[in-house]
Structure 1
Amino acid sequence: MPDGGDHPEPDRSPADRDAAVVPDAAAVPDAAAVRDAAVVRLLRLLRRPRLLGVGLAALFFVQSLRPTLLPRDWLFQGVVSGLALTLGYVVGATLTWCVEAALGRLGRRPRALAPAADLRLRLGLGLLLALLVGWASRDAVHDHRWTWERLDHEPSSAWLLYGGTLLVALLVCAALLALAWPVRWLRRRTARAGSRVLPRWIAAVLSTVLVLWLAVTALNTWVFQRTLDALNEAFTVSDLEIDGDVEPPTSRLRSTGPASQVAWEEVGDEGRLFLRRGPTVEQIAAFAPGGEAVEPIRVYVGRATTDDPQERADLALDELERFGAFGREAVLVVVPTGTGWVNEQLVQPVEHLYAGDVATVSLQYSHLPSPLAFLTEEEAAQETGRALIDEVDARIAELPAERRPDLLVAGESLGSFGASAAFDDLDDLVAETTASLWVGPPETVHLRREAEAARQPGSTQVKPVVGGEEVLFANRDSDIVGHPRAVFLQHADDPIVWWDWQTAVTEPDWLSEPLDPAVNPAMEWAPVSTFLNLAVDMAVSTAFDEDFGHKYGTQPLTAWVAMLQPASWDEDRVAELRQRLARLPR
């Protein structure tokens, strides 16, 4: 047994001792082998991201920074740029995979570079892309400054604009790619299982199609639809819930009042606001020539009353009859936005200009905000607008010509889309109404598309000029002149107006024509990215002061005055009313 003591080293020959001191040359790697091994390990790391994917990600990132209609803060821009990074990388990686699969099938795989050359190429391209991203970020900040100054919008600090945006973008991209890992894992396992009975390339293609189909179906069924259903239910509950001790109006000329058949609990938050707001008789009389005024009528029917638009329209007509609306000088039909919101700037000018002798009626078609309502309630908006306007128009037509009230129609944003469904074309609009006002109409409003297609040579898409003076398109208050019968208010910097699917593949006229003074001179069209940037702009379209983006301030007053030409209303009286309306809550 070993005793742990010292033992003498056994005798060895000199040759044996020399061999023990000098190691075997084959067992010691030389410097070149060590260097090549390090290069290979680094290449393995760098090869994970596809070069084409990285290149397209950088390109998409740069495009996401290009000037658009409205500015964004660094955090929001970082999220947008992160989505752009992810989209670019996914597109590039997918294209690379498809090309590699095709070349492999044809037996024409490209010759691989030596490790050192491959490493130099990748590092060089990476440095080039980093310089490109840095230059583009600096250039974007410079180009956006014009928009910031026009909107009197203080930009973020330079550090946040550069570093903050890039950091958030990288974090968003990393998070999204991590979420995609289970999909890649499932595709590989499916392809491996399929290759046991099918050729590898067929198994790879089929597994990719199958997994993508499953992912899209799952996202649509379990994420998109479930989310929309949950949001619809949540907004419905919130909309119908009555906060505090808010009581219905006491007037017998308002829905939910003592003489109404509409329930206070069924008109929703925006309906309750609309029915409780409005000028008093005394406030109207203060502006009325002669100082005399009557109480305006307001009718509102909520979505919760019934899901059938025609039944809601019939109930609204009964309310109008009950309150004596068709004995008034005018009936104003307003199709609201998605939540049921009625802009007081559309209604109160008319109530003042007619000295209160007007009835306003509106129907709610959705509990959702307009962006969500556009996705799910687009048809409901059209059916509601058509049913209500047709009912009111038909009832007025039954009266003797000398007793018929003026028919006025108004709609804002998605509401203008709903109201437009009641008219075949611009001629029908002018023939059926005394005056109509369309505020921030989206591209889906066919009346607007008709005007753009038929505009006179030399007029622009932003402000088309159609035959005669009855239809007027205005981008700002000073454009409203003459005596039109229909006015379309559409800011040149309103993304809700100019967002259009066609901009993804075709340059719109409003960018190729001389730019409106409200559009950044550095803004240029690019495939896909302009469309996506406009979509993002819509999210901040109401984040700025009145008369910018999708906020039109008191411009509806100017439009109504031009269309109605009220007697005894001079410029001073209109200016005084404008000051009062400017103080109204939005």
Structure 2
Amino acid sequence: MTAVIDRPTANVDVAAVALPRVLTSVAVSSMVAVSLAPSLLPRSAVVQAILTGLLAALGWGFASAWHHRPRRQRAGDPAPSRESARLPVLLAGAVTVAATMLLADHWQDSLRVAMGVPTVGGGHWAQVVVGAAAIALILAAGTRAVAAGVRRLGAARSAAIVAALAVATQFWAGPALWQSRAQAYHAANATVDTSLRQPVSPSISGSPDSLTSWDSLGAQGRKFVSAGAASGAVRTYAGIDSAPDQDGRVRLAVRELERAGGLAKSTIVVAVPTGSGWIDGNAAQGLEQRFGDDVALVGCSTRAPRAG
């Protein structure tokens, strides 16, 4: 006689187990939304992908660290969330990220229109999604590998490796990155917009009477002064190549403002450019509409990386 014993079978929801935990979904989607917040300058697809990937990995790391706390620190935690909550929270996070991306697309396009550069399209955001996902996955895998390596090597050997990497970054990776950034900046600054015409009014920098040559103003400086050529206001600008150093550019900007008659205006506006030398043309135009010809705008490029 054979006895048959029925063993209880656990009902496991495979789909729920495969989904990320509630805290992970909340943390990652929140950090991705933060990475898409409005910026003062347009972001390229590469920059946005790096920022989003870094913050997404940071959110994942926070959730992972919270879930792997020592047991003694979990005594006061509330009861764990039900597996059925994972899918709704994941979908809510996806909707939040999608809505934030639409708002970011609108904001980035408005910035680009204001700066006179091409707007973004679907390809831009496709690159962002793919790049950010790759960066986040690489960082997550790297974090786990580092943690496993530290456990295997011990604290002393791990500290020695970190010190070696820090030295390599200081003397090789850092200078290489700075040099690459400097070359990219100077290439962009040297771009010549053939639609712009050199001013002839003595109240505008870059004119034949100006102390700052047309070529030395840079791409953004030429845009700034050209936009004011039709008005009677004073627009002066000192570009990165207008003087060898920052002090020289400041002194030149003051002398140029005085030469152009800016000190005789009742309103003088010091426009602080961004790192690329860009000055908000809409703001400058609004000031000229408000004060008419009785306003002077002066800009001076700040420090920029020097290509070796």
TM-score, normalisation: structure 2: 0.60
Query: Contact conserved, 1:86 with 1:176, CA < 8 A, in 2?
Result: yes
Query: Gaps spanning 5+ residues in structure 1: where?
Result: 1-52, 100-124, 154-164, 192-203, 282-294, 369-586
Match of 2:272 among 305, 327, 335: 335
Query: Contact conserved, 2:32 with 2:55, CA < 8 A, in 1?
Result: no
Query: Contact conserved, 1:275 with 1:298, CA < 8 A, in 2?
Result: yes
Aligned to 1:228: 178
Distance in 2 (CA, whole Å) between partners of 1:206 and 1:98 is 24
Write out per-residue CA displacement over residues 138-172 of structure 1, whole angstroms, 9 at most, x where no aligned residue: 2335667987999997xxxxxxxxxxx99987654
Aligned to 2:89: 136
Aligned to 2:285: 348
CA separation of 1:249 and 1:343: change in aligned 2, threshold 3 A: same
Distance in 2 (CA, whole Å) between partners of 1:259 and 1:222 is 45
Q: Which amino acid aligns with 1:138?
A: L
Query: Contact conserved, 2:31 with 2:59, CA < 8 A, in 1?
Result: no
Distance in 2 (CA, whole Å) between partners of 1:316 and 1:306 is 10
Distance in 2 (CA, whole Å) between partners of 1:148 and 1:170 is 15
Distance in 1 (CA, whole Å) between partners of 2:174 and 2:240 is 23
Distance in 2 (CA, whole Å) between partners of 1:255 and 1:243 is 17
Aligned to 1:206: 156
Match of 1:239 among 189, 194, 216: 189
Equivalent residues in 2 for 1:558-577 (5 A)?
A: none
Q: Which amino acid aligns with 2:182?
A: N
Aligned to 1:301: 238
Aligned to 2:139: 176
Distance in 2 (CA, whole Å) between partners of 1:95 and 1:147 is 26
Query: Which one has the largest radius of gyration?
Result: 1
Query: Contact conserved, 1:239 with 1:268, CA < 8 A, in 2?
Result: yes
Deviation at 1:342, TM superposition (A): 1.5
Deviation at 1:324, TM superposition (A): 2.4
Query: Contact conserved, 1:302 with 1:363, CA < 8 A, in 2?
Result: yes
Equivalent residues in 2 for 1:474-485 (5 A)?
A: none
Q: Secondary structure in 2 aligned to 1:299?
A: strand
Distance in 2 (CA, whole Å) between partners of 1:142 and 1:220 is 41
Pair 1:365 & 2:302 matched: yes
Q: Secondary structure in 2 aligned to 1:267?
A: helix
Structure with the bigger RCO (C-alpha within 8 Å, sep 6+) is 2
Distance in 2 (CA, whole Å) between partners of 1:222 and 1:55 is 41
Aligned to 2:228: 278
Equivalent residues in 2 for 1:115-126 (5 A)?
A: none
Q: Which amino acid aligns with 1:356?
A: D
Aligned to 1:254: 204
| Aligned length in residues | 251
TM-score, normalisation: structure 1: 0.35
Deviation at 1:255, TM superposition (A): 1.3
Q: Which amino acid aligns with 2:27?
A: F
Query: Contact conserved, 1:267 with 1:302, CA < 8 A, in 2?
Result: yes
Q: Which amino acid aligns with 2:88?
A: W
Query: Contact conserved, 1:65 with 1:137, CA < 8 A, in 2?
Result: no
Q: Which amino acid aligns with 2:294?
A: D
Aligned to 2:263: 326
Deviation at 1:365, TM superposition (A): 0.7
Distance in 1 (CA, whole Å) between partners of 2:238 and 2:34 is 43
Write out per-residue CA displacement over residues 199-218 of structure 1, whole angstroms, 9 at most, x where no aligned residue: xxxxx111222223333454
Query: Contact conserved, 2:268 with 2:296, CA < 8 A, in 1?
Result: yes
Distance in 1 (CA, whole Å) between partners of 2:61 and 2:100 is 32
CA separation of 1:151 and 1:251: change in aligned 2, threshold 3 A: same
Equivalent residues in 2 for 1:365-514 (5 A)?
A: 365-367=302-304
CA separation of 1:65 and 1:350: change in aligned 2, threshold 3 A: closer
Distance in 2 (CA, whole Å) between partners of 1:187 and 1:279 is 63
Query: Contact conserved, 1:54 with 1:89, CA < 8 A, in 2?
Result: no
Distance in 2 (CA, whole Å) between partners of 1:336 and 1:90 is 37
Write out per-residue CA displacement over residues 57-101 of structure 1, whole angstroms, 9 at most, x where no aligned residue: 556325436789859xxx9999877545644665687899997xx
Distance in 1 (CA, whole Å) between partners of 2:137 and 2:31 is 17
Query: Contact conserved, 2:228 with 2:235, CA < 8 A, in 1?
Result: no
Q: Which amino acid aligns with 2:274?
A: T
Q: Which amino acid aligns with 2:273?
A: P
Q: Which amino acid aligns with 1:350?
A: L
Write out per-residue CA displacement over residues 1-28 of structure 1, whole angstroms, 9 at most, x where no aligned residue: xxxxxxxxxxxxxxxxxxxxxxxxxxxx
Q: Percent identity?
A: 23
CA separation of 1:135 and 1:180: change in aligned 2, threshold 3 A: same
Distance in 1 (CA, whole Å) between partners of 2:220 and 2:228 is 13
Pair 1:263 & 2:213 matched: yes
Query: Gaps spanning 5+ residues in structure 2: where?
Result: 1-19, 39-44, 71-79, 107-127
Aligned to 1:64: 31
Q: Which amino acid aligns with 1:314?
A: R
Aligned to 1:480: none
